[in-house]
Structure 1
Amino acid sequence: MSGSTPVRITPRPAADHPGPPEELATPYRQYVYAYPHQKSYRRLTSGPLLTELWAAERLDALSLYVHVPFCEMRCGFCNLFTRTGAPEEVTGRFLDTLERQARVTREALEAQGRQIRFTLAAFGGGTPTYLTATELTRLADICEDVMGADLKAVPWSVETSPATATDDRIAVLAERGATRVSIGVQTFLEEEARAAVRPQKRAEVDAALTRLKAAAFPILNIDLIYGIQGQTERSFRVSIDAALAREPEEIYLYPLYVRPLTGLEGRHAETGDGWDEQRLRLYRSGRDHLLAAGYEQTSMRVFRRRGTAAVDLADDAGISEYNQQAGMVGLGIGARSFTTDLHYTTDYAVAVPEVRRIIDDYIATPTDDFRRAQWAFRMDDGERRRMYLLQTLLESTGTSEAQYRRRFGAPPREHFPSQFAALRERDWIREHPSGTLRLTPEGMAWADAIGPLFFSARVNDAMAAYQDR
């Protein structure tokens, strides 16, 4: 797929019976955080107006997501849409464009004369705290004054890094009411950081965590990665214990993936079954250690400390790793918006030259162009079934068969017989007395392979046709 060649979307009904699932040969097929994957989106020749897309949607429980595509460095495993080392001239112009996009987006939301209300917000990236304190203040102003989100009244989260979690930036986040701050540490051991092509020092990590703890955000999350070359259960335990010493409300454990166009591509020696076994061994060890330390597991990656604000706030706000539903409004390059019938976004890439080109194109976009969806995926009933199933089944609460039936007219096992047969055969799923289908502990370990079993043929074909760039 070219970055500049438009193609028209011609949806066909998703097949709910694609035949037997693929052989589950590896537990690490891909990270499933939203369905369908962004590689399934295609550029529209003349996208629908946002006023039309949002005319029939609920507007009283919207979520706001802002994507900031900048980082101070690019880690060896990173395949996110981000640019490193952008000067203030670029970040300033990005915010100018983001404000223009926000204005026309709000106009579209309010075109029917209905009042809008945001109940959840997040700043992601990239690294949002790559922006200076002054720029972060302006970003919050855009969300509040232009988009109409009351950040002090809703749960909202932001991602940061050890190098950018400075006192002045943290002060802005605290003053504007951030409820959750997530810091990507990945490992507390410098030799493992070097193996992951992540130039960070332990002293810098410790100083950042000290500042974040002093700010007393309701939820502090620490990201860790397992599967780094040379990492052992003992060394992974060192990082987990260092994280536990900070008493964070959340800890995320991510498996290392090595993707095309990343710094580790072609350099990571661990491949095949040996690497799978290493990652599974590290995952199980880390999971068991966190459970013993008083954390509860809510998905393959997410562990929340029992009896803390993380559990109560996340439950009350409906926050989860797979938090995806109609009513998501995205701003910025790569941010996705979800309506009932269409998921849409901007152009997307990983390769450095393409990322820079797309950022330049975004900054130069005429305001009127933001009034239409640009890159999109058309949803239908089959795709909505798959999206709902993935965002419930991959969570520890599982899929309520009664709720699924009310939504879609039949039990999930009737729509996806071969997939559920494969899960039952491996003892990766159980039906609880409440009528809920839940993954077993081992099923949860294989969640990154279970998710893709439920992808439609249309999504798989689109992803296969996507050319990494």
Structure 2
Amino acid sequence: MNGAAHGIRPYLSYVYAYPHKTSYRPLPDRPALRELWTGEGRDALSLYLHIPFCEVRCGFCNLFTRIGAPGELTTRYLDALERQAVAVRDALGDEDPVRFAAAAFGGGTPTFLTAGELERLCDIAEKRMGADLRAVPLSVETSPATATADRLAVLAERGTTRLSIGVQSFVDEEARAAVRPQRRADVEAALGRIRETGVPVLNIDLIYGIDGQTEATWRHSLDAALAWHPEELYLYPLYVRPLTGLGRQDDAGGDAAWDEQRLRLYRQGRDHLLSHGYEQVSMRMFRRPGGQGTAPRGPDDHACQTDGMIGLGCGARSYTSGLHYSFDYAVDMRRIRTIIDDYTETADFTRAEVGRRIDGGEARRRHLLQSLLQAQGLEVAAYRDRFGGTPAEDFPDELAAFAGRGWLEESGGLLRLTPEGLAYSDALGPELFSPAVRDAMAAYEPK
């Protein structure tokens, strides 16, 4: 029986990280980073550098980013990023070997930076943090307007293995409806420049559920993307969130017809990509088998969601086994600008300011979420080795409910979602949040 038959809404929340930043709070003890990283594994860290600038802010976007960078803001931001990198690397110490196994530049739009600024960004990752960008998977996000030849040349030369471009729609009218002004001709030109770099993995992001979108126009965008033979494709349902451009216009989130439209378009997109030989990695991610270099992986299964993550920049998170931490979080543009300005003026980056403690129960939930929302599922034996019990023992009510809805099955030592369970990932994920995290998120006041 599917979720609709149970009256369950399929699009509650995109669980790309747990716990969500809205559950973070100021840390009264402001723990020193050196203390936080003492005893943590440092031989396979992930590094994420956040650039909070875009040329425009799409109507659906609630990411931590601002439009433009007046004056010397990008220079001041990179100055602060370098100060933070020096402080963090010092906190890691040299008692044990420090090695980075993966790196990513995200945002915002990292390619908002000039070619020279991108060189400096790579230098910060390599010379200040010690990451060998040419020896590890490096993923970088870009946009049609900023994927210029000079910027892409820098990224390719510095070792980028994956370029992810947010296209969203190849139909100009749909792009405008999503408050993302762009022309298809410019999108195609940007894709051509990306392919010319020889970077092995191209990812294209598309969105379904846009006002005016139909099965025919959705198929048109899917085929336009497939013409570039991308190694990865992400299909995102449109969300209308508070304080975003579309959120201020109209909150369509309670529209059951819109839910049905998005489910219908999701299934169409999924089936179309599967018929073209792609494999489904998660609800959103599809990968072409045999494509060059399948790593680094995308946001749904990227190593940045595991412990041992170091984030640099005012919108980045860092993860130790016992604490997730970052800086203040906002969606409203004025508040974001204030946080960015405060970040650029920060001199002392030696302490964690905002975050959430992770106890054993939250670690179990996190592991379950990370694994279950991937098509390959959760290895019960690996879970038992790590936590001493089984998922069924730790989460009997939740897993029984999922199985009763036809979302979950177990075989061969794997606990995995059915195709219908994957379709309802954005309903299933939030049901696994702990009561404490739910309460903290509910108490958060959007800003």
TM-score normalized by the length of structure 2? 0.96
The equivalent residue for 1:130 is 112
* CA positional deviation for 1:365: 1.0
Q: In the alignment, is the contact (CA less than 8 A) between 1:61 and 1:327 conserved in 2?
A: yes
> What corresponds to 1:71 in structure 2?
54
Question: Deviations for 1:70-115, whole angstroms, at most 9, x for unmatched residues?
Answer: 00000000000001011350010000000000001000001x5222
Q: In structure 1, how many angstroms separate the alpha carbons of the residues matched to 2:400 and 2:290?
A: 37
How many correspondences in the alignment? 441
1:93 matches 2:76: yes
Task: Check conservation: 1:427, 1:440, Cα contact below 8 A.
Answer: yes
Q: Secondary structure at the match of 1:108?
A: helix
Which residue does the alignment assign to 1:371?
Answer: 350
Cα shift readout 1:182-204 (whole Å, capped 9, x = no counterpart): 00000000110111111111111
Pairwise CA distance, 1:306: 1.4
Q: Structure 2 counterpart of 1:46, which letter?
A: D
2-side partners of 1:219 and 1:374: how far apart? 36
For 1:403-438, what per-residue CA distance to the aligned partner results, in whole angstroms no more than 9, with x for missing partners?
111111211011111111111111111112x21011
The answer for unaligned runs of 5 or more in structure 1 is 1-22
> Secondary structure, in 3 states, of the residue corresponding to 1:438?
strand
Contact 1:302 1:321 in 2 (8 A): no
Which residue identity is paired with 2:179? V
Pairing 1:467–2:445 present? yes
Scaled by the length of structure 1, the TM-score of the pair is 0.92
Q: 1:380 aligns with which of 348, 353, 359?
A: 359
Q: Say whether the 8 Å CA contact 1:229–1:269 is kept in structure 2.
A: no
Q: Which runs of 5+ in 2 are unaligned?
A: 1-5
The answer for the alignment partner of 1:245 in structure 2 is 227
- In structure 2, the partner of 1:211 is 193
CA distance in 1, matches of 2:251, 2:53: 29
Q: Give 3-state SS (helix, strand or coil) of 1:34's partner.
A: coil
SS of equivalent to 1:309: coil
- Superposition deviation, residue 46 in structure 1: 2.9
Q: Which residue of 2 aligns with 1:281?
A: 264
Query: CA–CA distance in 1 between the matches of 2:127 and 2:302?
Result: 28
**In the superposition, relative to structure 1, how do residues 305 and 203 fare at CA in structure 2: closer, same or farther (>3 Å)?**
same
Matched, 1:452 2:430: yes
Q: Aligned letter for 2:413?
A: G
Sequence identity percentage: 61
Counterpart pick for 2:313 among 332, 346, 352: 332
Please point out which of 303, 309, 314 is paired with 2:286.
Answer: 303
Q: Alpha-carbon deviations, 1:114-162, whole Å to 9, x = none? A: 2210010000100000000000000000000010000000001000000
One-letter code of the match for 1:304? R
Equivalent position of 2:3 in the other structure:
none
Cα deviations across residues 337-372 of structure 1 (Å, max 9, x unaligned)? 0001111001110101100000011011122xx101
- Kindly indicate whether the alpha-carbon contact (under 8 Å) linking 1:133 and 1:168 is maintained by their aligned counterparts in 2: yes
Pick aligned residue for 2:382 from 392, 403, 407: 403
Answer with 395-404 or 132-141: which moved more.
395-404
Question: Measured at CA, do residues 224 and 146 of structure 1 come closer, stay the same or move farther in structure 2, by a change above 3 Å?
Answer: same
Runs (4+) of structure 1 exceeding 4 A deviation are 268-271
User: Are the aligned partners of 1:314 and 1:320 in contact in 2 as well (CA < 8 Å)?
Assistant: no
Aligned counterpart, 1:104: 87
Q: Is the 8 A contact 1:227 1:282 kept in 2?
A: yes
SS in 1 for 2:246: coil
Give the secondary structure class of the aligned counterpart of 1:254: strand
**Cα offset for 1:25?**
2.1
